A and B are shown apart, each in its own frame.
Chain A
Amino acid sequence: MVEGQIHIEDSVIKAALESVPDPEVPVLTVLDLGVVRSVKLKGNTVYVDLTPTYSGCPAMDTMAVDISQALEAKGYQAIINLVLSPAWTTDWISENGRKKLEEYGIAAPLDELSDKRALIDGDRVVKCTNCQSTNTKLISQFGSTACKALFQCEDCLEPFDYFKCLK
């Protein structure tokens, strides 16, 4: 069983990583997103394993650079290694991350089955981030970034992003 959230011993390193936002969803840190897979300190060098959310996610390179800079600012050397396996899933987004997404106006990913119902069958199961109504309809399966779909609430008329379930 692969855990989404990893344990980071060193509090300075942890704080450094907590300061790095996802450039496309800046309300989430790279730790919230669950893309940091392992952190190892050897001497003064921090080895970070990073996994992409979607294969073509253009934010990956930026994240790697941002993580290096955050660690270097704390006096470390950083070596970032891109790993593909095991593949990222939206289950790895932290509880706190899900909460932050909702507050930011992005509906957090539903379980796989409900996600299918929402995106394929057009069932009204995604909750509006503005008024909490589930009277919402799918506008587009693909949204502003690869990880999101576009919905609109039919009660308050708010258009909003839904973070698609990836499993």
Chain B
Amino acid sequence: MSVDRYILSLSDNSMILGHRLSELCGHGPTLETDIALTNISLDLFGQVRGFLSVLAARQGSDVTEDSLAFLRREREHFNCILTELPNTDFAHIIVRQYFFDVFHKMQLEVLQQSTDQDIAAIAVKSLKEAKYHERFSQSWMLRLGDGTEVSHAKMQVAVNTLYPYVHELFDLTEWEKELIESGVAADTETIKEEYYRLIHQTLAQANLSTDGLSNRYAKGKHGMHTENLGFILAEFQYMQRAYPQMEW
């Protein structure tokens, strides 16, 4: 069912980015940023639980929140490539987060009016959190982009790497188009212009440039991923694969 796939795609963005952030637990550059990044991860996983428990209840039989989280293969994940790209350094972490946070917030704003009541309820809840995430990542964009020579240079490298994947956030798949018609999915075309306006405004304020950068091939929403996802799943799913149906 296309709505199931849509719920997974929303959930997978949060789950894969949430996992990337969880990798930083105990490794953040300072105690405060370490705590902030893991708190954001926790929010994202909370949203995932909301989505996957709804989906498990709808699919019934032996499908559970956990089986959906831990037993899908790479091709069965529909997150955007941006969310699975490696942490690399703090600049990459912040730029990735900022590009995602602005999109996430705007997408959730639209989804509050989804005709699917469960999606709408999770969107209302998650939006409040996404706003905090954006405040955090945006403030670091400015501080580092417009900071020292070194911090600026590192941020520019991160922008060069990550900006070419931003376009995929607005990629509309066939199954998504149907759902936009029926008012279930968010029509991201309606927020695209404002999104680019906002991020370019921040990039300009932070002295960062996107000149000469072109879009890179990205089809995560079609289940086509970079090699990064395989490594993420190997760690993320290890316990359930090694000890099937284990519980805490």
Binding site for B on A (CB under 8 A): 52, 54-58, 84-89, 119-120, 139-146, 150, 164, 166-167
Pair A142/B32 contact, Cβ less than 8 Å: yes
Q: How far is the CA of A122 from the CA of B51 in the complex (A)?
A: 35
- The B interface is mostly helix, strand or loop, or mixed, namely helix
Q: How large is the interface on B (under 10, 10 to 19, 20 to 34, 35 or more residues)?
A: 20 to 34
Asked whether B56 is an interface residue with its Cβ less than 8 Å from the other chain, the reply is no
A84–B46 touching, CB < 8 Å: no
Shortest CB-to-CB span from A85 to chain B, Å, is 4
Residues of A within 8 A of B125 (CB): 52, 55, 84-85, 87-88
Among all A-B residue pairs, the 4 with the closest Cβ atoms? A56-B46, A55-B46, A140-B32, A85-B121
* A141 contacts B36, C-beta separation under 8 Å: yes
Question: Within 8 Å of chain A (Cβ to Cβ): is B139?
Answer: yes
- Contact B121 A84, beta carbon cutoff 8 Å: yes
Asked whether A55 lies within 8 Å of B32 as measured between CB atoms, the reply is no
Binds A, one of B37-45, B87-95, B182-190, B238-246: B37-45
A25 to B12, CA, bound (A): 31
Q: B196 an interface residue at 8 Å Cβ cutoff? A: no
Whether B35 and A54, one on each chain, are in contact in the complex, defined by CB atoms closer than 8 angstroms, is no
Q: When the two chains form their complex, are residues A84 and B39 in contact, meaning their CB atoms are under 8 A apart?
A: no
Contacts A119-B135, A142-B35, A142-B136 given; does A55 touch B124 at CB 8 Å: no
Which A residue sits closest to B41, measured CB to CB? A56
- 10 CB contacts below 8 A, A to B, read A55-B46, A56-B44, A56-B47, A85-B125, A89-B128, A139-B32, A140-B35, A142-B40, A144-B35, A146-B129
A residues in contact with B136, CB < 8 Å: 141-142
